[in-house]
Structure 1
């Protein structure tokens, strides 16, 4: 009897051993998926917390959402929200919500708003992300790797549109160059807009009209200056039998180079605040860095190349320690040029920086050494 029990116990142990050795190991995937689920939950909770008491306008991109003084459609319009404009809830009711966005506080119809917990999913489909640099100087690399070549350098607080994200890297576009920045050194966030008051909208309209007027006048002066320069150049060629380089000082110039350079620098600054557009040629509606310097030089009778790399061969070389207003400063990486700015004195430059809204981008004034210059050239002798 005792032997039978021992045999039975041995059989049970053997069977248990077979089950343990042959059974698949399922526990590991469950253990690894649990932290992932916790991470996702944490991100969702953070998003909910971030958008608590918030609303976003969900009108069509071609229209705007009115913010009114009182909760009815006959009330005075105080301002407007574009699609993707973010606001804070002041008071919520069935049909209308009182919101504060930008400098405007008023009532908006609930039908055209996305509320709190729904903002995250709306943003994922409709709002672009931007990367704001949070270190003094950051390398933009050709690929998502610290071993990749450096395309260019960017400075602290500058903001760039995120094309896509690749793990710990964000793909951005900087002054026409596309590259990757480490997410350890940038804050990647949705680029929500803000409401504008009717006073702001009218001021912008007037500013645009004034800019267009100045652009017309500048174009007319440029044509007259070019005609005068051409006539003077032709006269000099006939009398001397020589020819004049398109990049040399116009024969009609009656003031010193330093004085003309200062005037060019002052003229360039009147366009500060206007937008950047890669490949653009409009000082008021969008222009890139080399287009900007080319247009400014043309205003004073100097014809230079179109791209920053080509402009770096125009004029004569000058040390960055001996700059004067009107000189051009060039930036780049690995010896290549990818950006140009005009020196305005006082250690500053004016340039068409990037596609971010002013003052982070557009035509703006910066420290001349916000990046290490590759070289400098003097066009106005």
Structure 2
């Protein structure tokens, strides 16, 4: 067996390098978190021991006694984003089942969620933890959760005050990559369709703006009503933009449903996709594979978000005093046919006088 050594005090980055794993994996192994294979766990522990890294014992969690509630907005679960949240819930359920724990989903009206309603839900379910799925809780609810010390994880959420554990896709970086992909294809006048009603979605707006500013392109944000739940509003908004005829040649949509509406408007105006107009989506929902041509989009691993959220809950229950952890999962480009090949510049449409 080859032994490893250092001339200084070892760090988790050293363990990760010698073990051939990520620093995140090392951190989770040393914290005794679930979800790590036996071989990887043994390898990390062995390397840490050989390097002389001090491993602090973490009390084991008794998952069979755990009952967690997952609060899911009813408008999201029953609307076009239902499949998105179904994937997250599947990840949560799978992780809970593997740990022998119980997960109880509950549909709520997130816009009117009250402390009294949450207290009643917890009383009825005897839950020891709560997942806020796609919910940005109001300030009074955050204060109550902090005061109660109830383990809580924001799922597909981003706590701007860094007081809660949260997990989400890499919204800023994903949006920046999506916009850069359009720019690399030669587009210099780009639209962004959004509804900036949540912290996570505003991160996508920031990613779009960052890529546009870095490359000096003309960017315009088209804000849809926060109550929009179908592609209809996106279609109507896109038709209004086309009537203005400002010479835009590409659009990045905050999700695939908006992209479907944008594509409908382009077809109604007899514009060819992607020759006249390029379209980029986000989330890689099933509808992205149903468009003609196939939508270019950014894939979000929804089940992985649910799984990671459950691991955060396990960590929080095992060590209630641990510092809050924010986890962002990478997204990846899904090549479709609504964007011309990289490097091939579009001709663009002339701007009316």
TM-score past 0.5 threshold: no
Structure number having the greater strand percentage:
1
For normalisation by structure 1, the TM-score amounts to 0.28
Larger radius of gyration: 1
